Amino acid sequence: MYDYVLFDSYIADVNQTTVYLVVPKKCHRYDVPRVGSQMAALVAWVAIELLQPDLIIPRFQ
C-alpha cells in the first residue's frame, strides 16, 4: 500500500479500551522531523484509514 511508513504507532489496553498513540516519523529522504499542519493532517488521515478508531483526540503544542 505504501512504500514507507509515515508514523510510529503505540498500542495500549486501558480498562477494556484500546488506545493508539500515533507519532510522525522522520522524513526518510532528508532525515528531519516531519512537522506542520499538513503532515499532521496526512498522518491523521492514514491512521484513521488503517486503525479505524472510534474517537480521535488531537494534541496541539
Average pLDDT by consecutive 10-residue portion of the chain (61 residues)? Answer: 73 92 86 86 89 85 63
Q: Which residues contact 2 (CB under 8 A, 6 or more apart)?
A: 46
Where does residue 19 fall: left (phi above 0), alpha (psi -120 to 50 degrees), or beta otherwise? Answer: beta
For residue 48, give Cα distances in angstroms to 29, 31, 54.
Answer: 24, 25, 9
- pTM (whole model) above 0.95: no
Question: Residue 33 has what pLDDT?
Answer: 86
CA-based radius of gyration for the chain: 13
Helix, coil or strand: residue 38: helix
